[in-house]
């Protein structure tokens, strides 16, 4: 059994990241490091380390003489994230379907069950379970770099997933699309998986573009 040791910086990173993803820290508002460090009961050193990682993830940006602020959602970033996912994820999921072991199939079923059960849960929990399901479809086959790239893109997409699922009826539609994807994946039907994933990601990208343009978040 492996033991995962999380540093104080890791813990601060996870707390602040969750607050950014769920909107608790408003976009473009300055992150007040003194107040945040005091609230979390840590020194500014692990907080600064966490903020550097969050900037590397693209969730915050530094401002001259103002420190850090959360990046606003933007149509451009959403389009870039989903264009990259479309270039990699559909084919990777198809290959995953062909190479999945029984343990992989069980893991994918459990990941989708957990996502479907998350309706009404905290937004960050839904986003995390959504990411785990998508990653479960591409993990078989030990293509480490491909899996890492897709997981990184899925993490960047989490705030957009929350925004996309907010309108009435979106969660139910996403459930149907995910269930169809999983059924094809479990059947080992690579063509159906690939085409289904393309449709799923394309529809999400189109919805987000309409929403973000409407709100003039660019």
The parent domain of residue 47 ranges over 8-70
Does a structural domain hold residue 190? Answer: yes
User: Which carries the bigger pLDDT value, residue 14 or residue 1?
Assistant: 14
> CB–CB of 28/69 below 8 Å?
yes
- Where residue 62 sits, what CATH number does that domain have? 1.10.10.10
Q: Which of 70, 89, 119 is the last residue in one of the domains?
A: 70
Q: Give the residue carrying structure tokens 């063509």.
A: 191
Shared-domain flag, residues 108 and 190? yes
Shared-domain flag, residues 79 and 165? yes
CA nearest neighbour of 20 among 159, 125, 208: 159
Residue 208, Cα to own-chain centre: how many angstroms? 14
Does a structural domain hold residue 114? Answer: yes
Q: Would you state the pLDDT for residue 5?
A: 44
Shared-domain flag, residues 92 and 193? yes
Q: For the segment 84-115, what is each residue's pLDDT rounded down to a tens digit? A: 999 999 999 999 999 999 999 999 999 999 99
Tokens matching residue 4: 């995962």
Look at the chain and report how many structural domains it folds into.
Answer: 2
Does a structural domain hold residue 191? Answer: yes
């Amino acid at each position: 059994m492996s033991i995962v040791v999380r540093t104080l910086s890791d813990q601060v990173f996870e707390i602040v990241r969750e607050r950014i993803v769920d909107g608790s820290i408003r976009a473009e508002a300055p992150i007040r490091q003194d107040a945040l460090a005091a609230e979390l009961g840590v020194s500014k050193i692990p907080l600064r380390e966490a903020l550097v990682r969050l900037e590397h993830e693209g969730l915050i940006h530094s401002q001259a003489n103002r420190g850090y602020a959360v990046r606003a959602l933007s149509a451009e970033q959403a389009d870039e994230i989903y264009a990259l996912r479309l270039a990699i994820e559909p084919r990777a999921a198809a290959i995953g379907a062909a190479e999945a072991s029984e343990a992989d199939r069980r893991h994918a079923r459990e990941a989708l069950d957990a996502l479907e059960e998350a309706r009404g849960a905290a937004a960050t929990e839904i986003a995390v379970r959504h990411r785990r399901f998508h990653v479960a479809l591409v993990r078989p086959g030990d293509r480490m770099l491909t899996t890492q790239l897709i997981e990184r893109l899925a993490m960047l997409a989490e705030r957009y997933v929350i925004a996309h699922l907010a309108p009435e009826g979106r969660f139910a539609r996403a459930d149907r699309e995910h269930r169809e994807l999983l059924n094809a994946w479990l059947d080992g039907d690579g063509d159906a998986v690939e085409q289904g994933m393309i449709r799923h990601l394309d529809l999400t990208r189109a919805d987000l573009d309409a929403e973000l343009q409407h709100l003039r978040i660019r």
